[in-house]
């Protein structure tokens, strides 16, 4: 019975995601869903990405967190429109939450890129489509190299993987080649970016790909 209930929830979510997707398409806005572990640097990646692209693209942001608005305040400080979703405890965003907060952003037709930062969690965010064009998974070398093999669905569903904090590689035992190898074994088409939001190394390649992946 449990399985049937979960299947129905996901089917209802997929229908709402499809509606969101139609709205994005109609407005010509490119939507990306940024997922990853807590502390991997998702918000730092958003800050770097927005700083690099905001003169070329009109960007809007949806920040997902269990509670608080710290991340939305960081993004708002960059001068782009941002709306915070607090799930209160739910460990993922769903398509209905996105649909509701779209009213709190500028009209979609006035945006080129919508970045959605999901709840820090490598499990269910991968199963709840939001209507996004691409999912992107973020992890850091501080978390070891076992994430792709332990959480394969996340890597299977993503178009790109960002491995952050490469400036820490000399201080950790993480084998970054194993992250790459395991992730590609799950999803051979995965684009991989190894970068540091702290130093800025690798950011340019990532933002160039993101901007180009719109079309």
Contact 185, 196 (CB under 8 A): no
State residue 144 phi and psi, 5-degree precision: 85, 180
**Separation of alpha carbons 179 and 163, rounded Å:** 9
The tokens describing 156, both together, are 């299977």
β 82-86/160-164 pair status:
unpaired
The tokens describing 82, both together, are 């941002």
Partner touching 43 among Mg ion, Zn ion, none, CB below 5 to 8 Å by kind: Mg ion
Nearer to Zn ion, 92 or 135 (CB): 92
CB of 125 to Mg ion, least distance (A): 13
Nearer to Zn ion, 31 or 119 (CB): 119
* Closest residue by Cα to residue 142 from 116, 118, 173: 173
CB of 43 to Mg ion, least distance (A): 3
Interface with Mg ion by CB under 5 A: which range of 40-48, 73-81, 151-159, 187-195? 40-48
CB of 92 to Zn ion, least distance (A): 3
CB of 118 to Mg ion, least distance (A): 9
Q: Which residues bind Zn ion (CB under 5 A)?
A: 91-92, 124
């Amino acid at each position: 019975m449990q399985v049937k209930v979960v299947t129905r929830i996901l089917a209802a979510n997929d229908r709402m995601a499809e509606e969101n997707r139609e709205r994005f398409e109609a407005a010509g806005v490119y939507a990306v869903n940024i997922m990853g572990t807590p502390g991997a640097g998702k918000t730092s990646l958003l800050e770097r990405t927005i700083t690099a692209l905001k003169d070329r693209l009109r960007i809007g942001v949806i920040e997902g967190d269990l509670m608080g608005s710290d991340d939305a305040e960081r993004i708002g400080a960059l001068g782009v429109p941002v709306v915070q979703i607090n799930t209160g405890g739910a460990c993922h965003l769903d398509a209905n939450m996105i649909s509701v907060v779209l009213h709190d952003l500028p009209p979609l037709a006035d945006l080129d890129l919508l970045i959605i930062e999901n709840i820090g969690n490598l499990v269910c965010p991968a199963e709840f489509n939001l209507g996004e064009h691409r999912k992107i998974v973020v992890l850091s070398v501080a978390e070891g190299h076992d994430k792709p093999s332990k959480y394969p669905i996340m890597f299977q569903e993503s178009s790109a993987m960002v491995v952050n904090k490469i400036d820490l590689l000399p201080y950790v035992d993480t084998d970054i080649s194993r992250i790459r190898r395991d992730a590609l074994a799950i999803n051979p088409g995965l684009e991989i970016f190894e970068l540091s939001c702290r130093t800025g190394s690798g950011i340019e390649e990532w933002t160039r790909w993101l901007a180009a992946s719109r079309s």
